[in-house]
Each structure stands twice: as C-alpha cells, then as structure tokens.
C-alpha cells in the first residue's frame, strides 16, 4: 500500500498520512505488523499519553526488565526516562548500567526498562520527522526513535504492567501466534 523504499516505519507512516489527508493534530498509532498480540488497552494508553501531553512529539511504551539475560541482550531495546516519563535515550546496550550490581558488590535487582515498539504521533509531527535526515545515533543503534531525540523532540513513555506477548520474529513465533488465533476462533 506504500512505496517499498522507506527507511523506517515512520517514513512509511508519513506517506500514508499524506495519502489519507489527515489533519496535523490527528493522533495516529504505529503498531508494527509483527506484534499481532499487542494489548489494545496499551495501544489506547499510548495514544492517550500523547493526547494529554501537548509538549510531547510522540509517545511509546516500555515494561520492566526482569532478567539479566534480557538486560544484556542487544536485541532487547532499552529506554531510560526522566522523572516526568520522557525518554532520555534508547539503546541496544544495557542502560542504565547498574555498576555495583554488575561488579558483584550489590544484589539489588536490575532496574531497567525494555522498549515496546508501539508509537503514537500527531500527524503533523510525522511529516516533520520524515523530512529530517537520519542522525548518527539512529545509524549507530539502528533505532529510528533516536532521530526525534537528536532533533530535540520529546517522547512520552508509558510503563506497561507487563510485557506484551512476544512478536513474530522467527518461524516458531509465527506458529505460536497462529495457535493463539486458532484458539480464539474456536
């Protein structure tokens, strides 16, 4: 439905917004196609977080990381927020680094958050985003949301109570999701 040459999902969304002729203040949600089991309640919470925060350019979600393995996994994107719930940084690296825990000097639990690939934007912001060139951080981490932070934008982050069901990244994941849908159709 959109061109095949888009660098990111947000760039693809910009084309769709233009084709639909949406007003600049219209809130749009980008739910990745590989996340068919995403909780609709979380989708609404992310959209609402943007609606009630006019200073935010976009909104997204996270959940607490509960294992050391997940924390150290570069395929798990981490997010650090400020005291108001705005993103400071996203990374594939383990952030924030719990120095004392990792040195074995503390047994405190790791306090870190996994980013959930769900985004809400105002339509007018998406056009601005798509006009910006990719930034060095985005290229380094392969994370498109860093383009927003690089440009000085604000990303509101909603904390989910639990991790969403796993997405579809492997053939085994696809079979798991198919089984869930088959069970719902019975």
The full set of domains in the chain, from first to last, is 27-120+132-185 (3.90.550.10)
- Predicted confidence band at 185 (pLDDT cuts at 50, 70, 90)? low
- Predicted confidence band at 2 (pLDDT cuts at 50, 70, 90)? confident
How far out from the chain centre does Cα 100 lie? Answer: 28
Q: What is the pLDDT of residues 152-163, one digit of tens each?
A: 999 999 999 988
Task: Measure the CA–CA gap between 116 and 61, rounded to whole angstroms.
Answer: 5
Residue 111, SS3 per DSSP: coil
Please tell me the pTM assigned to this model.
0.89
Q: What is the pLDDT of residues 57-109, one digit of tens each?
A: 999 999 999 899 999 999 899 999 999 999 999 999 999 999 998 888 998 88
Per-residue pLDDT averaged across 123-131, rounded?
Answer: 93
Angle between helices 9-20 and 123-131 (to 10 degrees): 130
135: which strand partners? none
* Nearest residue to 180 (alpha-carbon basis) of 41, 44, 36: 36
- Predicted confidence band at 165 (pLDDT cuts at 50, 70, 90)? confident
User: According to the model, what pLDDT value does residue 124 have?
Assistant: 95
**What integer best gives the mean pLDDT of the chain?**
92
How far out from the chain centre does Cα 130 lie? Answer: 17
Q: What is the pLDDT of residues 31-66, one digit of tens each?
A: 887 888 899 999 999 999 999 999 999 999 999 998
User: According to the model, what pLDDT value does residue 23 have?
Assistant: 95
């Amino acid at each position: 439905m959109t061109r095949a040459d888009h660098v990111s999902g947000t760039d693809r969304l910009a084309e769709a917004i233009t084709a639909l002729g949406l007003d600049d203040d219209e809130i749009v949600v980008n739910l990745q196609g590989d996340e068919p089991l995403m909780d609709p309640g979380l989708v609404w919470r992310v959209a609402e977080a943007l609606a009630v925060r006019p200073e935010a350019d976009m909104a997204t979600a996270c959940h607490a990381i509960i294992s050391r393995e997940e924390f150290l996994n570069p395929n798990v994107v981490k997010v650090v927020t400020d005291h108001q719930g705005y993103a400071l940084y996203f990374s594939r690296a383990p952030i924030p680094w719990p120095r004392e825990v990792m040195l074995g000097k503390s047994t405190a639990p790791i306090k870190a958050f996994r980013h959930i690939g769900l985004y809400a934007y105002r339509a007018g912001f998406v056009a601005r985003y798509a006009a910006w060139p990719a930034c060095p951080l985005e290229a380094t981490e392969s994370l498109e949301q860093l383009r927003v932070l690089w440009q000085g934008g604000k990303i509101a982050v909603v904390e989910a109570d639990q991790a969403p069901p796993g997405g579809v990244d492997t053939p085994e994941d696809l079979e798991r999701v198919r089984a869930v849908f088959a069970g719902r159709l019975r």
